[in-house]
Amino acid sequence: MNDNKKPKKTKKATACESCVYYDYNDEDDIYECMMSLDEDEFLRFMTSRTDGCPYYKFYDEYKSVQRQN
């Protein structure tokens, strides 16, 4: 019996809740990604053939408040 098991690769998780493009949709009453993806990008994203969202951008609300002052 061979006990040499390869470690499973873990995918980088993207925290959509902290992304600039993750916003509330009033019409559907849900939070969703507002980034406009073409069909190929959407398919790759939905089938998890990517290491994470290439459009993820951290939303820093304190940075936007600093600009207002």
3-state secondary structure 37-48: CCHHHHHHHHCC
The per-residue pLDDT string of the chain (69 residues; one tens digit each, 9 = 90 and over) reads 555 555 444 445 557 888 899 999 999 999 988 988 888 888 887 777 656 788 888 888 776 556 665
Length of the chain in terms of residues written: 69
Q: How far apart are CA 69 and CA 59, in angstroms?
A: 18
pTM exceeding the 0.85 threshold for the entire prediction: no
In this structure, are residues 21 and 33 in contact, taking their beta carbons and an 8 Å threshold? Answer: yes
